[in-house]
A and B are shown apart, each in its own frame.
Chain A
Amino acid sequence: MLPLLLALPLLGAALYEQVQLTAQSWLDEGLEDTALTLAGQVDIRSGEPRIDISATMDRALRFDRQDDVFYLVLAPKGDVLQGDAGLADVLPRPTVQPAGRSHYGDVKLRDRELRLVQLGHDCGVGTCQILVAETLHKRDALQRQIGSLVALTGLGLALLLALAAWWAIRQGLTPLTAMSNELEHRDLHRLAPLTASLPRELVPLQAAFNRLFQRLTRAADSQREFLADAAHQLRTPLTSLQTEIELALMEPHDQRVDPLLHRLRQRVVRSARLAQQLLSLARTEDRNVDVGQRVDLRDIATESGQDWAHRSLPAGVDLGFELAEAPALGHSFLLRELLENLIHNAVSYAGSGARITVRCGTGPEGPWMEVEDNGPGIAPPDRPAAMQRFRRGDQASGTGSGLGLAIAGDIAARHGGRLELLDAHDGGPGLRARLSLPAMPGSIPAV
């Protein structure tokens, strides 16, 4: 842009110069025509050059609407044959021109600036000098006109150029702005390639971004795979350890080691659960997991209920279900894992004597599922922190890893839903963790 702006005055100057020269040369030719007319009037009489100019012709020769025209015809020896003798006093002094040659020059006559043409004319006995000069009004006016014309044109051109440049930059930057907006809102779990249709100049930039995404995705994938592998590798020996301990409890043994074996079993179960949670964390972030399958939250809760019915809950824990139809789009393992974490969380927070209720149904906004307990609850200001990884509440009885709610939140987000920690329904103490999923497309919500 800058070079263009610098070139513009130079171009203007060159154009001005060129037009100016052409115009000048036309005017000069006019002067020379006058000189040639005069030369045509010179003849020889009795060996002497003579010239006869009638008054009419004189007027015709001198006629000009703007300028004063002067002429002078000099005999070869320098005698004035005709015209304005004063013209011989121009400065710089005219030099004698050979016959048939003409010379142009800017001269001064008593402080008036004139344009002069001097023509050498063979008049038989030597070379006569014919001088024709005119004042510069016409030329100055023409110069001003050309100058302003060129300046105006240049200015217009500059304006047009600036406008074009502004438009081009704006056009060029709009896709960039759109692209940076899209980049701003990119989900790190789903680095799909950018597919905006861009001007040809921006395509390489987009391609570079897409290659970067690919590398990032590969890096994230390998990290996730590592997490999954590590968790899996950890889970297998922990499972074996758990069965070994259970076997020791089943087979004849010294009853005094019973408390030790039970404690050991509890710790191993907890570690195995942590490994399981890490595994499901890896699954949550796996882009290949399809969260768009048709599921019913009621089936998921029923299945979970069947499993929990067999597990030994802490003394006096009452786990109940109030289930209604709740068709949703999701991934059953992940949703099952979410519920598992919520129930686990309720069991470990509410402690013995707890009443835990799992509910699901379809609301005006879509399918939902919640787990309510009557434990100590979490104060509203502490709830956001409880959703973070490896944060454990003060009341946790020690079986939680601090991952449960965070994983549940991740799974909810992965489904485009949300997980909220709310007060218990009846206004008493306790916590209600509620999952809300987007409504099924085309479903009529039951009120």
Chain B
Amino acid sequence: MRILLVEDDEQLVETTARALRSQGWVVDCTARGEPVPRSLREDAYDLLILDIGLAGIDGFETLRRVRAESLAVPVLILTARDAVEDRVRGLEGGADDYLVKPFALTELVARARALVRRSQARTSNQLQLARLRIDQEARRAYIDEEPLALSAREWDVLGFLMTRAGKVVPKEHIALASNAWDQGVSDNAIEVCLSRLRAKIEPGGVQLRTVRGLGYLLEEIV
């Protein structure tokens, strides 16, 4: 996997790049936004990590130019924590996710992986999270190469959660995930389904957490 990292804080570039490389990814770094569209055209990057506060044109402008050229690479923006308006602006400008500084490296790695996974899901039918893998066309799930026995509902929910791994998904959205459910599905039915699913997938190095009152979060165990 190849990542373009645009960040002008030298120390942050060094540590971030090393953390990403430790995952076996190839990382190219630049401190300025101007050459980014060209780099993206010339080389096939899987992810652009873009800092908002850059010298020269800022992250927003860089993002605008990238999207103006219809470059479909997933973009993760980095913003300072006190610039809350930046997140909205970034997401509206075509970023796929944001991360607020100071961030934990493990979180950066997890978000980067989730973004690439989602992007690949658009072009391929295979999605991987830790040792859990799903094949959307075949509607099958595997831990390593071992197929999982899932009901139709469980499969729908897993597929839905896999494309949203790393995000808290509200319960009412999960209710919409499966055609196998009637309109007025009970909370209880969803919980039963999720707890069965949890037992089946957690041996694969992932966890399905309940965030009380907000929803469910499927993530890798770090």
Contact = CB atoms under 8 A, between A and B. Distances in A.
Interface of A: 235-240, 242-244, 246-247, 250-251, 272, 276, 279-280, 283, 302, 305-307, 309-311, 318-323, 332-333, 336-337, 357-358
A238 to B, nearest CB: 7
Top 9 closest pairs, chain A to chain B, by CB: A320-B212, A321-B213, A239-B102, A333-B84, A243-B15, A246-B105, A240-B11, A305-B214, A320-B213
A306 B107 CA distance: 13
A235 B102 CA distance: 8
Interface of B: 9, 11-12, 15-16, 18-19, 22, 81-85, 100-102, 104-107, 110, 166-168, 209, 211-214, 217, 219
A79 to B, nearest CB: 125
B69 to A, nearest CB: 31
Given A243-B11, A307-B100, 12 more contacts: A238-B102, A240-B11, A240-B12, A243-B16, A243-B19, A246-B15, A250-B105, A276-B81, A309-B217, A320-B211, A321-B214, A333-B83
A279 B83 CA distance: 12
Contacts of A251: 18, 22
B82 A244 contact: no
Contact of A250 (B19, B102, B212): B19
A309 B211 contact: yes
28 contacts: A235-B102, A236-B9, A242-B104, A243-B11, A243-B105, A244-B15, A246-B105, A246-B106, A247-B15, A247-B19, A250-B106, A276-B81, A276-B82, A280-B82, A305-B168, A305-B213, A306-B167, A309-B168, A309-B209, A309-B217, A310-B110, A310-B166, A320-B211, A320-B212, A321-B214, A322-B213, A333-B84, A358-B213
- Residue from the set B81, B83, B217 with the largest chain A CB neighbour count within 10 Å: B81
A243 B209 CA distance: 26
Contacts of A242: 102, 104
B211 A239 contact: no
A238 B9 CA distance: 13
Nearest to B109: A250
A311 B125 CA distance: 30
Q: Which secondary structure dominates chain B's binding surface?
A: mixed
A319 B211 contact: yes
A320 B151 CA distance: 29
Contacts of B219: 310
Contacts of A318: 212
Nearest to A242: B102
Contacts of A337: 82
Contacts of B81: 276
B12 A243 contact: yes
Contacts of A236: 9
Contacts of B212: 318-321, 357
Contacts of B106: 246, 250
A247 B213 contact: no
Nearest to B106: A246
- Residue from the set B18, B102, B211, B212 with the largest chain A CB neighbour count within 10 Å: B102
Contacts of A244: 15
A312 to B, nearest CB: 8
A441 to B, nearest CB: 23
Nearest to A235: B102
B53 to A, nearest CB: 11
B217 A332 contact: no
Contacts of B211: 305, 309, 319-321
B95 to A, nearest CB: 16
A283 B82 CA distance: 9
- Residue from the set A246, A302, A318, A322 with the largest chain B CB neighbour count within 10 Å: A246
Contacts of B12: 239-240, 243
Contacts of A320: 211-214
Given A306-B168, A320-B211, A272 B102 contact: yes
Contacts of A305: 168, 211, 213-214
